[in-house]
Structure 1
Amino acid sequence: MERKDIEEKYTWDLSKIYQDPQEFYHDIEVSQQLLDELTSFQGKLTESIETFLRFLSKRDEMSMLVSKAYCFAHLNCDVEPKNQEYQKMLATVMSLIQQSSVKLVFVDNEIVENDETVREYLKDERLKSYRYSLENALAFKSHLLDKEQEELVAKVDNISELAEQVFDSLRLEFEDVEVNGQKKTLNQATLNEFLKNKNRDVRKQAYHHFFKEYQRFENTFASTLSGVMKKDAFYSDIRHFDSPLAASVFNDDVPTDLFFKILDKANNEYRYLFHRYNHLKKEILGLDELYNYDLSVPLVKSVSKKFTIEECFDIINQSLAPFGKDYLAIINRAKEERWIDYYPTVGKRGGAYSSGSYLTQPYILMNFIGDYNSLSTMIHELGHSVHT
C-alpha cells in the first residue's frame, strides 16, 4: 500500500511539531546558540550553586529543542525514508547532537571532580528535579576517563554508531504470497497472519519468501551485528567494566547475575515445556515433520478474529475503564489528535513504538493489519504514550 492511498485520519499529524521546515531550522539555530553558551561554563561549572543551576537550566532548554527536532525528523524518516528533505533534517540534527557530545564532554568530569561540592548542592530543593541524573553521573565516576580521553571518545561516538545506522536504514522488500489464486503483500506486519493460515503451502511460501530476503543480506546483517559487538566490547574495555554485559546493565542498576538466572530458566527449566507443546501440536495437526512455519497455526478451528481500528478503540476503552476517566481521556486524545500512524506502507519501518519528546505528543508507529496482535500492540503502545 502506498502512503498516499491511506485516509488522513489513519496517519499521524506531525504538523503540530513543525508547520514548515523554517520552524525546524530555527530551533536548530537556537540550539546551536545555546550550545555555544553552555560551552562558556567550562572550568567554572560548580563555582556556585547559582552558576550550576543556570547551566542545568540552559542545558534543559537546548535538550528539549534538540529532542523536538530529532523527534520530527526521525518520525518522518520512518514513514517516508525516500524523502530527501526529511533525511537532510535528520542528518542536521544528528550532527548537532554529535557536536554537543564533544563540546559538553567536560560536564561529567567537572561534576565528579567536584563531587563533594555537588553532593552539598543536591541538598538544596532547587536541585530536586536533577538529583536522580546527577547521582547517576557521580555513580559513573570509576568508569569516567580524563578530559582528553573523554573528548576523544566523544569524537568516536558517531563513528561507532555506523553499524546500527546501516541496520536501521535497511528496508527489505519481500516477494508476494499467493493465497487462493491472488497475490498478497508480504511484510513484517503480514508475516504472522500468513503463518496462521490453515493452508500449509501458504505458510511455507510466506516463511521462505520472507527469510529468503534476509538470507540475501546475511553478510550485511552479520557485519552490522559484528560492528555492534565490537563497539560494545570497545566501550566496556576502555571504561573498565568487567564485561560488555556489565556495561549494558549498569545504567539500569541490574546485576549481571540476573541475566544468567533468566537464561538458565529459559534454557533449562522451561525449554522442555516448549518441546512438549510442539510435540503435541505436531500430533494434533497430523504432521510427519513440524517446521518453523507450522508453529503459529492455531489449534482451534474457529479462531479468526478481525478488528477495525474503531473496534479496537471500543475494546480498549472497555478494557481500561477501571483505570478511570482521566486515563481514557488520554487514550481517546491519541485517536482524535492523530498521534498514531496505523497502516503498513511501502518503505515504512517495521514493528511498533511510542516515541516523542518533552515538547511533543507521544506519537505511535504501528503496522496495523486488523488481527488480534494488532489490537494487542495498539493497547501496549497506548500504555507507553499515556505514561509519557
Structure 2
Amino acid sequence: MALILTNREVAQAMDAAEYVDAMEEAFRAYGAGAAVNSLRADACLPVDRYTPEVRGRVQRLIEDLPLDADPVYAPETIAAAKRAGEVVYRLKTISGGYPQCGVAAVRISTHFDTQTRLDDTLRRVKLPLAPGWQFMSMVVLLSLETGEVLGLIPDSHIQRMRVGGTTALGVKHMAREDASRVALLGSGAQAQAALECVAAVRKLERVRIYSPTASNRARFAESMRRKLHLDVIAVDSAEKAFEDADIVLTATSSYEPVYQPQWLRPGMHLGIGTLLEEEVETFPLSRSIVVSLRPFGGSSDFVQNFVMGSRNEPTFGQLINKQSSRFDWESMVELGDILNGRAKSRESPDEITHHINNNGCGGLALVSWSLQSAR
C-alpha cells in the first residue's frame, strides 16, 4: 500500500547528519555505476501565451499576492517580481533508479518563474500561486521489484536537504581539516539547509552571512545562532563575508556570478550552489575542481527545454546549459570518483578546492530513507 507523507513528517524523519550520510551512500553508489539519474526536463509555458481566460486568472492571482506573503522573500523582492514583464510556468521532471534501496522515482516540481533585477543583479524569483503560498513538488517512489507505487512524498524539504547534504559532502572531503570559518552568500531555505548540513560534518568557529536584503540576513543570522549555537554574523557585503573565511558556500537566486576572483585566498574551499553563480575565471586558481555529476553522453547540457510556441526562446534551463558549455567537463572530477578512491580531493593545504553542486543523484536515497523512517 502506498504511503503518503506530509512535509512535516518528512522534516521529522531525519536530521541533517542522516541526510549527509544518505547522500554520501548515494554518490558512492552512482560513482560505482550502481545508480542512474536522468537529465532534468523542463516544460515551459509563458503565461502571455495562455488562453485569455486562464491568463487573466493567473494575472489576478499575481496582482493579489500580498508583499509579505512569503517568509523568505522580502517585500521589495515580491514587488519586483509582480512588476516582471514575463511570467513562465515551469514544470520540471527528473527520474532515476537506486537498486541498493530497491527503488526508482520520478520527481515533479512546478512554479512560476519571473526575472527581475535587484541590487544590480539579475535574479530569478519563483512564485508559488497555490493557496498558502505553496510550491507543488512531489516524488513518486516506485518499487524496483514489482513496479508498484510505494509512496507519494512532498519534495520541498527533501530538495533543500539534498542540495545542502551534497554541499556538505564537498566540505567533508575537500576542505582542509582545520577549516572552520564560513562565508555564506544567501539567506533563504537553501542557505539554511547548507549551513545545517555543513555544521553536521565540521566543527565551525564562525559564520559570516551576506544577502542583498539587510532584514533577511539579520533574521537569518539570529535564527541560525539560536538553532545551531554558532557565532553567525550578518555583514553588509559579499566581500566582507569572504574575509578570513576558509569555507565559502553560495545559495542564491542569482543569474550572475556572486563573487570576485580577487577575494580567493590559498587554502579556501568553495561550495558553489549553481552553475549560474559560478565565476569561471577563477578556475585557473583552483587545481582541484569537483562537480557533483558531469553531463551525460558527451553533451554539456543538463536540462532538456521545451517551450510552448518556441524552439529557441531563452529559459532558465537554457541559461544553465549556456553556462555549462563554458566548462571543460572532461577535466573535472565527479564527487563519486573521490568517494570511491579514484581521485584525490586536495593535493596540499594551500590548494583552492572547488565543488560545483551542479546536479544530484541522492534524492532517491533521501526519499527512501524518509519513507523507511516514517514507517
Instruction: Select the structure that is richer in strand.
Output: 2
TM, length-normalised to structure 1: 0.22
Name which one, 1 or 2, has greater alpha-carbon Rg.
Answer: 1
Instruction: Select the structure that is richer in helix.
Output: 1
TM, length-normalised to structure 2: 0.22
